[in-house]
């Protein structure tokens, strides 16, 4: 079947197409241009061609419910895998960003907090160690140098040495007390154990290194999470474009769809149960009706049999009566034959009389016929003269009618125009020169097989004497135009 081609068409606003059937192909067309829609019979999928960002033609498949669910499943599996990769071997209490943030007291400036806390603790410890000592003796080196100078001075007398010794003993006692408060340096868990300053510096260095590592880890984790979110968002799609009522998350949208499916399934089950009950009631009704009909039919058959028996008895009675009537009729027939013979004899006598009367009538009629013949001859002459005059009038009428038909045909031909394009073209301008504002036209377009068909084409009136026809592809056309101005 050859379908007409639409050489350009625009639908009105809010229009729709009902019962549309797209072209059905065993395989995708090659090559294919953008903007084509077809149904692949082999794959059983509705497809369309479009353009990618670079302008290349690509083929898309209209997503079905199964394709969408499969995409959801693939997206969920990929997201679960990415989350598992991010968690790694982390303990359950610290395998989410929320748990890590909670463990760090949701402090966005963790590094600054640790550094500030370390500096505060070190300053407090240093102040506790120094007490109210002067700045010239606030380090162990300065104290050691002062003691060496005192021990080496030859001008110092015994009382001064004694005081120095007492001071040294007091200092030793104080150092012992301070040592007991500070603790044993060798019990430090740091690598540096020679002094508190070295140990504290090591702690600070370790804290700085840990802070640097934590910042790098946070940056890497943030980049990875951003990448995962980008991939997940790309595979999941835009939630606001969901056709479900719930658009906050895929889980809730799927739950809504699942709930709708369960409700539909329950409704179907209820409808099936109602249908079964209705069918059972209908079967019961039909069964009762069949039983009633069987009872009625049996009664009707009994009545019919009684009627047949009565009819048989009546027929027997009629046959007996008919036999009696036949005998009576035979007797009447013999009597009738006798009467007929007598009538024949009487009629023969009457016929002889009628023949004599007929001969006399023939003679009289012959005389009358001769007179009529003379009258007919006169009438024929008159009729022939009238026929000749009538023929002359008819010939004149025929001549006038032929002239009128010729003029009418010329007038009608002047209102009509036909055109056959000599070559194929996309645009045809036709000068019909009918000079009318109201035209009736027919357009046929030549197909690839050389046959002309009535395709749907746009026709534009350029003026009262010409029209323009635009096609979507070059082709020859046949056009018939008629003016409706009247003859």
- Condensed to tens digits (0 to 9), the pLDDT of residues 255-299 reads 877 787 788 878 878 887 887 788 788 777 777 777 787 787 788
Cα-trace Rg, the chain: 63
DSSP strand pairing (477-483 vs 416-420): antiparallel
Query: What percentage of residues in the chain have a pLDDT greater than 70?
Result: 80
| Integer CA distances (angstroms), 27 to 33, 311, 331, 369, in order | 15, 77, 98, 98
CA–CA dist 341, 31 (Å, integer): 108
pLDDT of residue 155: 45
Q: Is the peptide bond before 31 cis (omega within 30 degrees of 0)?
A: yes
CA–CA dist 176, 170 (Å, integer): 10
Following DSSP, what letter does each residue of 1-41 receive, concatenated?
Answer: -PPPPBSS--PPTT----S---EEESS--SS--TT-EEEET
pLDDT of residue 459: 92
pLDDT of residue 180: 66
DSSP strand pairing (23-25 vs 37-40): parallel
- Condensed to tens digits (0 to 9), the pLDDT of residues 122-134 reads 777 777 767 777 7
Assess whether pLDDT exceeds 60 at residue 231: no
- Condensed to tens digits (0 to 9), the pLDDT of residues 141-183 reads 777 676 666 555 444 444 555 666 677 677 777 666 666 666 6
Which helix or strand (DSSP H or E) is residue 445 part of? strand 439-446
How many Cα atoms sit within 13 Å of 273 on the Cβ side?
A: 6
Which carries the bigger pLDDT value, residue 161 or residue 138? 138
């Amino acid at each position: 079947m050859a379908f007409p081609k639409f050489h350009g068409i625009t639908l009105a606003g809010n229009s729709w197409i009902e019962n549309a059937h797209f072209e059905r192909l065993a395989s995708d067309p090659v090559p294919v241009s953008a903007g084509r829609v077809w149904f692949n019979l082999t794959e059983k999928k509705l497809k369309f061609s479009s353009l990618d960002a670079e302008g290349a033609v690509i083929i898309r498949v209209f997503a079905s419910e199964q394709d969408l669910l499969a995409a959801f499943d693939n997206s969920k599996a990929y997201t679960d895998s990415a989350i598992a990769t991010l968690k790694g071997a982390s303990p359950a209490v610290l395998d989410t960003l929320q748990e890590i943030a909670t463990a760090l007291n949701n402090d966005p400036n963790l590094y600054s907090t640790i550094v500030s806390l370390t500096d505060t603790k070190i300053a407090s410890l240093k102040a506790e160690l120094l007490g109210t000592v002067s700045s010239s003796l606030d380090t162990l080196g300065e104290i050691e140098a002062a003691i060496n100078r005192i021990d080496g001075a030859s001008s110092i007398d015994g009382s001064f040495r004694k005081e120095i010794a007492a001071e040294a003993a007091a200092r030793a006692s104080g150092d012992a007390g301070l040592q007991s408060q500070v603790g044993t340096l060798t019990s430090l868990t740091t690598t540096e154990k020679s002094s508190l300053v070295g140990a504290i510096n090591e702690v600070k260095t370790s804290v700085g290194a840990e802070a640097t590592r934590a910042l790098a880890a946070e940056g890497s984790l943030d980049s990875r999470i951003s990448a995962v979110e980008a991939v997940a968002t790309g595979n999941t799609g835009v939630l606001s474009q969901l056709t479900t009522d719930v658009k906050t998350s895929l889980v809730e949208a799927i739950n809504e769809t699942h709930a709708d499916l369960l409700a539909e399934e329950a409704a179907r089950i209820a409808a099936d149960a109602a249908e079964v009950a209705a069918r059972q009631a209908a079967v019961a009704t039909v069964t009762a009706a069949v039983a009633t009909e069987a009872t009625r039919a049996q009664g009707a058959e009994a009545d019919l049999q009684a009627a047949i028996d009565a009819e048989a008895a009546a027929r027997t009675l009629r046959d007996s009566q008919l036999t009696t009537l036949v005998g009576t009729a035979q007797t009447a027939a013999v009597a009738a034959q006798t009467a007929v013979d007598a009538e024949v004899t009487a009629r023969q006598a009457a016929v002889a009389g009628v023949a004599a009367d007929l001969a006399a009538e023939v003679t009289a009629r012959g005389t009358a016929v001769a007179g009529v013949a003379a009258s007919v001859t006169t009438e024929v002459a008159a009729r022939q003269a009238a026929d000749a005059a009538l023929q002359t009038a008819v010939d004149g009428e025929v001549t006038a009618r032929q002239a009128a038909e010729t003029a009418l045909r010329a007038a009608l031909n002047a209102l009509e125009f036909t055109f056959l394009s000599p070559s194929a073209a996309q645009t045809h301008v036709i000068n019909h020169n009918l000079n009318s504002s109201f035209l009736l036209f027919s357009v046929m377009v030549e197909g690839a097989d050389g046959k002309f068909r009535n395709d749907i084409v746009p026709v534009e009136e350029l003026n009262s004497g010409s029209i323009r026809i635009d096609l979507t592809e070059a082709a020859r056309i046949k056009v018939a135009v008629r003016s409706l101005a009247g003859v």
